[in-house]
Structure 1
Amino acid sequence: MTRIPTSALILGLSGLIPFLYGAVTVLLPGTAELGRAWSVYHAGPALLQIYGIVILCFMAGVIWGFAARAEGRQATLFYILSVLPALFVFFTAFAPPRQSLWMLILAFVALLAIDASAARQGIAPAWWMRLRLMLTGVVVICLAIGALA
């Protein structure tokens, strides 16, 4: 199996920081005061909801990139799949934070299935699923902590 490029690994892990911080502010509510200096939304379930929406849309863009590597029906399918997360997020954004977090968990798991399909079809890098499984595992755990709070 191909090694995950160092830059992709470091940046991917860095992208987990807001998820981890959001989960910590749920588990240790006193830590939420750090984020409240900026806004009431920079802690807990609300932070997890907002950042989860941002990252889900970002990952939809990655699917668009996979579609650009494909041709014909395969490309059309992945272009369609790349638009679905943004449409899903439109409805998720208006739900209360905890309900939204459950919806985001389902979306990230579905996104992982799309990534696996892209990897099987050879339009994702060979190392892609190793990175995605690791990152998605942490994201789902953090979102679940917020949803169960």
Structure 2
Amino acid sequence: MAMSISEKLGYAGLLPFIAAAVAVVMGVEQGEAMFKLYSVLILAFMSGGCWGVEQANPDQIDDIPLELSIGTFLWGILAYFLPTNVAVLMFMVGFWLLLWTETNPIFKRAYAESYKRLRNVLTGAVTLVCVVVFIAVH
């Protein structure tokens, strides 16, 4: 079965995470900065996606997912300014928090099953990359 454009773009989005992790492991001078920047950008992008689903369904929204998507964005911004060993853990929590937010019924109706599977795979892969970076900076 051919991959959808969302799947192709989702998997392609892993490449900068992997490249940044390799840079950190190899001790490239700006590797940590690259990892933190890409992490905060993707966390903001994913938070914005959640915000968009919530705004498209105002009659079905409750406060918790809306607050979590905004809070996760702010959490990521805070993490960006902290040392990498702390930031990487915060980014991991942020990605898992967004995945958990997407278990709310509003997202179950908005997202196709294939996208839900994709999100699980991508969040798992990003978590693994975060673990590698965390170990590398210690």
Smaller-chain TM-score range?
0.7 to 0.9
Cα RMSD (Å) of the superposition?
A: 2.3
Q: Distance in 1 between matches of 2:134 and 2:10?
A: 23
Structure 1, unmatched stretches of 5+, are 33-39
1:146 aligns with 2:133: yes
Deviation at 1:73, TM superposition (A): 5.6
The alpha-carbon distance between structure 1 residues 4 and 63, as it changes in their structure 2 partners (threshold 3 A), is: farther
Q: Distance in 1 between matches of 2:115 and 2:53?
A: 11
1:12 aligns with 2:3: no
- Please say which structure displays the higher CA radius of gyration: 1
1:133 aligns with 2:131: no
Number of aligned positions between the proteins: 136
Q: Distance in 1 between matches of 2:56 and 2:105?
A: 10
Deviation at 1:122, TM superposition (A): 1.3
User: Which residue identity lines up with residue 33 of structure 2 in the other structure?
Assistant: A
How does the TM-score come out when normalised to structure 2?
A: 0.84
8 Å Cα contact 2:40/2:77 also seen in 1: no
User: Which residue identity lines up with residue 119 of structure 2 in the other structure?
Assistant: R
Q: Give the alignment partner of residue 35 of structure 2, picking from 13, 32, 48.
A: 48
Q: Distance in 2 between matches of 1:92 and 1:104?
A: 7
Q: Give the alignment partner of residue 123 of structure 1, picking from 85, 102, 110.
A: 110
After TM superposition, the structure 1 = structure 2 runs for residues 68-83 of structure 1, keeping only pairs within 5 Å, are 68-72=55-59, 74=61, 76-83=63-70
How does the TM-score come out when normalised to structure 1?
A: 0.79
After TM superposition, the structure 1 = structure 2 runs for residues 23-38 of structure 1, keeping only pairs within 5 Å, are 23-27=21-25, 29=26, 32=28
Worse overlay, 86-95 or 67-76: 67-76
What percent of counterpart residues are identical? 26
Deviation at 1:84, TM superposition (A): 1.2
Q: Distance in 1 between matches of 2:34 and 2:126?
A: 13
* Residue matched to 1:104: 91
Deviation at 1:19, TM superposition (A): 0.6
8 Å Cα contact 2:47/2:72 also seen in 1: yes
1:50-100 deviation per Cα after TM superposition (whole angstroms, max 9, x unaligned): 111110000001101210232336255433332112211221121001210
Q: Distance in 2 between matches of 1:137 and 1:119?
A: 23
Q: Distance in 2 between matches of 1:132 and 1:146?
A: 21
